[in-house]
């Protein structure tokens, strides 16, 4: 099937538009829509499909076309980028731009207590932006107001003409806010847009310098890119399997985890799901104690975030995420903690001593080399959830 679309091309000299009507396939139409979504992020407003086609016709360079190709199959593209980086090979500007796009998607995935992005990751993204920004010749600094707006919410009109120094100072202030936040974390959600915009919109020709600038921030950028990919594609970042290849090396395979971990009251048993994911069984005390399964990685990650994120030492506290809801309530002289999974509503209550024991148990389990290795592997595929 083909579609007929109208692509408008401005002709400034005549101050009028000419309309070029072409027939394109569904596949090409979907490609243009994907590029439209990417460009809309940078523009901060909805970009039409015809405007995308116009921009591509005007700037049909190899770099832009490479990025479009990467965005067609993001799972395959990102797994190839990860493999390329692991081999010590340099990434192209388009490949870094692809990573940055999913970093921004991951950073802006926020629902209740579901952000769960570490302060170090926020700082790494801002520093990565600065590292690229400082590669630009001062004569070519552009988009200063856009960069500043994503770092500082003050009205740009109140501070006069924006310079590169304003951007650098705003970035420093933003990092300081993240580092010094105490009661409530400071979350600069839009800082990821700057990294994507500076890579996609500025002229950077020194590929080795770009790789050197971004290399120190790879671990944090990758975790956020994997998070963004999971948000957009609803699947982990794993290489496609091809069972027909006799010598296919399945690097996504997880070794079985067999040893349970106990603290004398609760215990945790671990197993793998089809060799690719993790399943945890929380066993309650007593011969007839309940057994609560938690899987796969996203649900386990959100359970741990809830367990350690709930302020269980104060009454009337709550934790709300896509998967779990937890809260505290007074029970005589003690403050109990309870949680339930939103998909079934089954609720478990814990005394302060039991809640503390549960936290110690999870800490003990995740400090074991076997679980730690498995968790690190899954974090590379799902990201920082």
Q: Which CATH number fits domain 261-382: 1.10.3470, 3.40.50, 3.30.420, 3.30.2450?
A: 3.30.2450
**What confidence category does residue 330 fall into, taking pLDDT thresholds of 50, 70 and 90?**
very high
Give the pLDDT mean for 31-43: 73
pLDDT of 224 strictly over 60: yes
Q: Report the range of poorest mean pLDDT among 177-186, 188-197, 291-300.
A: 177-186
Residues 87-108 pLDDT 10s: 999 999 999 999 999 999 999 9
Q: What is residue 141's predicted lDDT score, i.e. its pLDDT? A: 67
Which pLDDT band, with edges at 50, 70 and 90, does 354 fall under? very high
Q: pTM for this structure?
A: 0.79
**Structure-model confidence comparison of residues 174 and 45, the more confident one:** 174
- Where helices occur in 116-163 by DSSP H, the ranges are 119-133, 144-151
Confidence of residue 47 (pLDDT cuts 50, 70, 90): confident
Among 24-38, 131-145, 234-248, which stretch is predicted with the lowest mean pLDDT? Answer: 234-248
Query: What mean pLDDT do residues 187-214 have?
Result: 93
For 371, the token pair is: 């679980």
Does residue 20 or residue 229 have the better pLDDT?
229
- 306 vs 4, residue with greater confidence: 306
Tell me the CA distances in angstroms from 22 to 3, 5, 13, 94, 144, one per residue in order: 8, 6, 24, 28, 37
CA distance 64 to 69: 9
CA distance 250 to 79: 13
Mean local confidence (pLDDT), 237-265? 65
d(CA 327, CA 338): 6
- Residue 11's pLDDT is 42
For residue 36, the model assigns a pLDDT of 78
Domain segments of the chain as ranges: 2-60, 66-233, 261-382
Spell out a b/e string for 225-242, using b for 16 or more CB atoms within 10 Å of the CB, else e: bbbbbbbbeeebbbbeee
Q: What is the pLDDT of residues 145-175, one digit of tens each?
A: 899 999 976 544 555 678 889 999 999 999 9
List the structure tokens of 263. Answer: 């603290």
d(CA 220, CA 212): 15
By mean pLDDT, which of 215-224, 234-243, 267-276 is the weakest? Answer: 234-243
- Residue 85 — φ and ψ, nearest 5°? -65, -40
Residue 346 has pLDDT above 70, yes or no: yes
Mean pLDDT score, 303-307: 94
pLDDT of residue 248: 36
Distance of CA 303 to the CA centre of its chain: 18
């Amino acid at each position: 099937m083909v579609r007929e679309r109208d692509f408008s091309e401005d002709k400034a000299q005549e101050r009028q538009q000419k309309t070029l009507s072409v027939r394109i396939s569904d596949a090409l139409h979907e490609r243009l829509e994907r590029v439209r979504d990417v460009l809309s992020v940078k523009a901060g407003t909805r970009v039409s499909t015809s405007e995308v086609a116009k921009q591509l016709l005007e700037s049909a360079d190899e770099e832009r076309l490479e990025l479009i190709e990467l965005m067609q199959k993001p799972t395959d593209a990102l797994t190839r980028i990860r493999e390329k980086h692991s081999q010590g090979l340099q990434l192209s500007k388009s490949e870094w731009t692809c990573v940055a796009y999913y970093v921004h998607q991951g950073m802006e995935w926020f629902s209740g207590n579901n952000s769960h992005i570490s302060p170090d990751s926020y700082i790494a993204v801002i520093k990565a932006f600065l590292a690229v920004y400082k590669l630009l010749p001062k004569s070519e600094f552009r988009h200063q107001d856009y960069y500043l707006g994503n770092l500082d919410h003050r009205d740009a009109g109140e501070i006069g003409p924006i310079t590169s120094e304003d951007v650098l100072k705003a970035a420093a202030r933003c990092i300081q806010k993240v580092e010094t936040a105490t009661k409530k974390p400071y979350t600069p959600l839009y800082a990821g847009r700057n990294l994507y915009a500076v890579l996609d919109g500025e002229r950077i020709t020194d590929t080795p310098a770009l790789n050197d600038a971004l290399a120190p921030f790879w671990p944090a950028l990758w975790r956020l890119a994997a998070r963004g990919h999971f948000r957009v594609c609803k699947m982990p970042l794993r290489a496609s399997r091809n069972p027909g290849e006799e010598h296919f090396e399945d690097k996504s395979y997880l070794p079985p985890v067999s040893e349970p971990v106990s603290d004398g009251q609760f215990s945790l048993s671990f197993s793998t799901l089809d060799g690719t994911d993790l399943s945890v069984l929380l066993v309650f005390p007593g011969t007839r104690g309940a057994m609560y399964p938690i899987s796969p990685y996203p649900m386990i990650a959100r359970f741990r975030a809830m367990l350690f994120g709930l302020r269980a030492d104060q009454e009337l506290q709550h934790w709300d995420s896509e998967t779990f809801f937890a809260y505290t309530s007074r029970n005589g002289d003690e403050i109990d903690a309870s949680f339930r999974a939103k998909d079934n509503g089954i609720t478990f209550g814990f005394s302060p001593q039991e809640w503390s024991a549960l936290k110690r148990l999870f800490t003990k389990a995740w400090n074991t080399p076997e679980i730690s290795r498995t968790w690190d592997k899954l974090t590379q595929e799902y990201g920082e959830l």
